[in-house]
A = this chain, B = another copy of it.
Amino acid sequence: MPMSNKKPPAARGMKQKNGPPSQCAKCPVRALALFQGIPHEDLDWTQGYREGEFAFPAKKVVYREREQHPYAYTLYSGWVAISKSLPDGKCQIMRFALPGDFIGFQADMSGPMTLAATAITNVELCAFPRSRMMNMFVERPQLGARMAQMNARYMELCQHHLLAAGQRSAIERMAFLMMELFFRVQRVGNMVPGSTEDGIAWPLAQLQIGQAIGLTPVHVSRTLKELRAQGLADIRDHRLIINDMEGMTELSQYDISMEQSEML
Contacts and interface: CB of A to CB of B under 8 A. Distances in A.
Contacts of A168: 86, 90
Contacts of A154: 155
Contact-size category for A: 35 or more
A249 B55 CA distance: 39
A256 interface: no
Interface string A66-110: 000000000000000000101100111010000000000111100
Interface stretch (A6-14, A131-139, A182-190, A224-232): A131-139
Contacts of A2: none
Query: How often does this chain occur in the complex, in copies?
Result: 2
A141 B138 CA distance: 5
Interface stretch (A118-126, A157-165, A194-202): A157-165
Contacts of A166: 92, 165, 211, 213-214
Interface of A: 84, 86-87, 90-92, 94, 105-108, 111, 114-115, 134, 137-139, 141-142, 144-145, 147-156, 158-163, 165-168, 211, 213-214, 253, 261, 263
